[in-house]
Amino acid sequence: MSVQSKTVLKSYFETGDQPTESNFGDLIDSLQHVSADTLQTLTDGSSIAWNLSAGGLATVTLGGNRTLANPTNIAAGIYMLKVIQDGTGSRTLAYGTSYKFAGGVVPILSSAAAAYDILTFFCDGTNMNCIPSYNFS
């Protein structure tokens, strides 16, 4: 079992093919990076930058009301951001124009001190479509 290119992986699952145990092992090994991605800590500031090429998993602690700037090096994929309230709490987060939300409703973050929310993004290469999960504490 080994890491394979997307083209090779697709060939395992073509119509009429019966993938082998080894094929599934290759698939799992090739997708391991999705969950083993490097966790980057974003720098808190009035505008928070996120370079997606540095890792699709990120965390930020809000020290005030902030804006999550449009990400750099955007590419199709799944990305996750853990947004943590500082010791004061009640911080808000605004979003750049690349971020999209179901029904156009921007998520309201948990407000308790030290509470956190996890924002999962499905990116089509242009838009960061948000699926929020709230109130971890």
- pTM, to two decimals: 0.75
Q: What is the pLDDT of residue 31?
A: 60
Bridge-based pairing of strands 128-136 and 116-123 is antiparallel
Cα gap 42→76, rounded to integer Å = 20
Q: What is the pLDDT of residue 12?
A: 79
Q: Which pair of tokens denotes residue 5?
A: 């290119």
**Predicted local confidence at residue 30, as pLDDT:** 63
Low-confidence ranges of the chain (pLDDT < 50): 33, 35
The predicted structure's pLDDT at residue 94: 98
Helix (H, G, I), strand (E, B) or coil at 41: strand
Phi, psi of 109 (to 5 degrees): -70, 155
